[in-house]
Structure 1
Amino acid sequence: MMLPEGRIDGVMNAVISLCHFCELHGPSVLFVTQAFHEPDCPPAQPDVREPKSCYGNATERLLHRETTNSSAPCEACLSFSPIHRGFLSNDHEGRISYLSTQQATQHDVSTLVRQACTRSLSCEVSPGKEGPIFFGDEVRGQVLSYTFFLKDAQARGYQRWFSITVLMKDKFFLLNSWPFLVENIERIISELQAKATVVYEREQAENPQRALRLAAAYSSDGKRTSNKPSRSVLELTGNEHVFAWLHLQFTWLLKAGANRLVEKIVEGLPTPDLTVDFYNHQETEDGFTLVSAKKVHSPVLELEASASHETSQNSPVINDLRHLHEILGPIPFLSLAYCLMVGKQIVIRGQPAGLIASIANCLKMLVPRSCYQAALNSDQYLDVSQCNVLGVEPHVAVPQPSPDILRLDILQPGDQAQYNNANKYNYKTTWGDKLPSKCPTLLLMMEKAIENTKLNNSAMHYHFVALKEEWLNIAKVVRRIEHWNPGQPQDVTSLLQAMGAQEQDRGLLEFWGTSSI
């Protein structure tokens, strides 16, 4: 099958067709627009970038198709006269030709287009027989079909049935393009319907068809001789250039449909660390919003977390997670990390502020950026809706520890000479709950990495970034399944098992999935 996939070299590789339901022949293809790419050429050819009359042998394909097509359609099924073969537009910069013809120029593509036409005007229709619908499979291609009516004073029911179909192989590309395609196809249809309505109202005013039909029904022979059984789109719209206009519209759809999406290679679902920067954008003269993407090859620190909290040069600091694990001890560290990972609030109370900031810098390495919201040096208590890591001085009143709040108190050493040594401070964790019998899988994996002395800090950091990305993707998938299939816990359980997660991971996945929205 020669139908191309997705998007290549700045053009949406799809076949856009106008179809109609003929009273004589049934569903028929009227008009097809395709894109043809310039084949790759050896770089030794000096004139390879010179403009051509067409690219991708578009006209040769047309001539070959004409020699094999000997059918004689009726007037309603005809979009081109015998002396007019089609419309051709060239994108010399992209080396692409856009060709519009009566039928697709490639036999296998033409077969798929006809199948899509038949389905769009028979079984695959939206309620009310007007509107967009998606159908397809891997064999016959993926199709977006938009069915609509055009008024016709001489048709049964005073209207004729049409559809615009977009056929391609890439299902996900087509569905991602759905809002763009539907919006612009609706615009095309609205203009066609407006033109047809003007012709219909003029004909009804000049020669009311209802009276003629009633007169014919009661005549001696009961035959209708004044009306044509089929009328072309040119007659229905009163515009002899309607197909040239459709060629321009379909060509623009193929070109713009690809330019609006930018391909990026990612492993897994997109994370907040790899999103487009929607805050730094500007409006162009054409009314478009210019959005710039963040650098793909930024340092891991920039991708993984926000800027570090500032610490004083003379202040004692906790250097990294290993240092924090050593000072707190295994159980207090696990309690602190667990509360942060499942969305509970951590209140760090004490002095100096630089030591609190260094602890916060260590903690943020445990969760994605979207799950970390800190407020340090606060002069009052802030609830978890405002921050999940709060740093305050000893005199600030804070709630008593509860199942949702863990407090880490930092007590200064008795000897003032030891104030610059973080190891000499006393660290006391108080929590109104206790660790579950089974901790989240990710937390245990991170603890194992921290205790592995053969893993240096740099390698451990990259390891944590990869782990967080993996589990953030799992959290997003689980949240989508729960949103799409509410009340189906067995589906979520099966999904968790398939992705290597367990019941003890639900709290972490729920918090991470919610925070990533």
Structure 2
Amino acid sequence: MFSIVISLAHFCDKHGPRIISVTQSAEKGTLGEELLVPDYPTESYCESCLLQFPEESTRSMRCFIEDVPFITTQYSSIRYQLLNSIIKRAFSEETMIYDNMPFIFFDDLRGLNLVIGFKLYDENARGNERRYCFILTVDSRSHDDSMKMLSEHWNFIIGGFDKMIAYIKNIHKSEFLGENKTVENNLETLNNNAFIGSYLRANKSKFGRNLVSLTDDKFLFVRIHKWNSFLLHTVMNENKLP
């Protein structure tokens, strides 16, 4: 059976394409110790691309479903270069869109990748928006087997990503309106003017904010970890692929 990985990536104003979280599984009956990451320094991460669990010292999150360990970390210690190559391709201007529409790419190096992009309004970001995407990676060199698995679970996978993105957008909208007194004016800003202007235009007054801050949900990455683990377990449990 080949591996399936779910990543959440962000186009950081400062660093460009960066991985925020990676959810992977280990072999059934093990603890998945090889997927855990050490207590690494976070100075190289800015606020907008930092994985933030409720306990600031937490670097890895692990859960078990039917004795299979699922682990979420800031980066993958065993697939670091692979995933960085994938997100650079995903965020290229030729392919990426941010309206929740999926796109797929495959090659022998990066395997099969399903990408769904979305964006959130933030007046503190360049172009007043922060750009993200969820990526499901099937780490296989077999195009036919990978596409067969994806087609059999298309509605489930797309529906799962859509629900998570809808949750993020809804609580972000609630947080945005909660910070402002003039609801009507800010609804107009959020719905109509949020993404007007050049995304590439620099603004020195901008600063980084991560998803926890944008949604005011300190458990957001715990929810993403659990949801991704459920998606992975369901797909992998029904596909004992060679």
Report TM bin, short chain.
0.7 to 0.9
**Of residues 81, 90, 94 in structure 1, which corresponds to 2:64?**
90
Greater RCO, CA 8 A, separation 6+: 2
Task: Say whether residues 1:180 and 2:156 are aligned partners.
Answer: yes
> 1:31, CA displacement in angstroms?
0.7
Tell me the secondary structure at the aligned position of residue 14 of structure 1.
strand
Residue matched to 2:218: 240
Residue matched to 1:134: 104
> 1:236, CA displacement in angstroms?
0.6
> 1:133, CA displacement in angstroms?
0.4
> d(CA) in 2 for partners of 1:186 and 1:231?
23
Residue matched to 2:6: 16
Structure 2, unpaired ranges of 5+: 190-202
> 1:185, CA displacement in angstroms?
0.5
Task: Say whether residues 1:258 and 2:236 are aligned partners.
Answer: yes
Change in 2 beyond 3 A, CA 1:127/1:145:
closer
The sequence identity of aligned pairs, in percent, is: 25
Task: Say whether residues 1:29 and 2:19 are aligned partners.
Answer: yes
Structure 1, unpaired ranges of 5+: 6-12, 39-54, 211-222, 266-517
Residue matched to 1:201: 177
> 1:251, CA displacement in angstroms?
0.6
> d(CA) in 2 for partners of 1:15 and 1:130?
19
Deviations 1:451-488 (A, max 9, x none): xxxxxxxxxxxxxxxxxxxxxxxxxxxxxxxxxxxxxx
Contact 1:19-1:30 within 8 A present in 2 as well? yes
**Of residues 118, 141, 146 in structure 2, which corresponds to 1:171?**
146
Q: Which moved more, 1:151-160 or 1:163-172?
A: 151-160
**Of residues 100, 104, 124 in structure 1, which corresponds to 2:76?**
104
Contact 1:152-1:196 within 8 A present in 2 as well? no
Deviations 1:197-224 (A, max 9, x none): 11222334479898xxxxxxxxxxxx86
Contact 1:32-1:104 within 8 A present in 2 as well? yes
TM-score by length of 2: 0.78
TM-score by length of 1: 0.38
Task: Say whether residues 1:143 and 2:113 are aligned partners.
Answer: yes
> d(CA) in 1 for partners of 2:121 and 2:209?
11
Contact 1:58-1:99 within 8 A present in 2 as well? yes
> d(CA) in 2 for partners of 1:205 and 1:70?
35
Contact 1:86-1:99 within 8 A present in 2 as well? yes
Between Structure 1 and Structure 2, the one with more strand by share is 2
Report the aligned-residue RMSD. Answer: 2.9
> d(CA) in 1 for partners of 2:99 and 2:223?
25
Matches within 5 A, 1:287-366: none
**Count, aligned residues:** 218
Deviations 1:479-509 (A, max 9, x none): xxxxxxxxxxxxxxxxxxxxxxxxxxxxxxx
Change in 2 beyond 3 A, CA 1:206/1:113:
farther
Tell me the secondary structure at the aligned position of residue 20 of structure 2.
strand
> d(CA) in 1 for partners of 2:51 and 2:9?
11
> 1:86, CA displacement in angstroms?
1.8
Residue matched to 2:45: 73
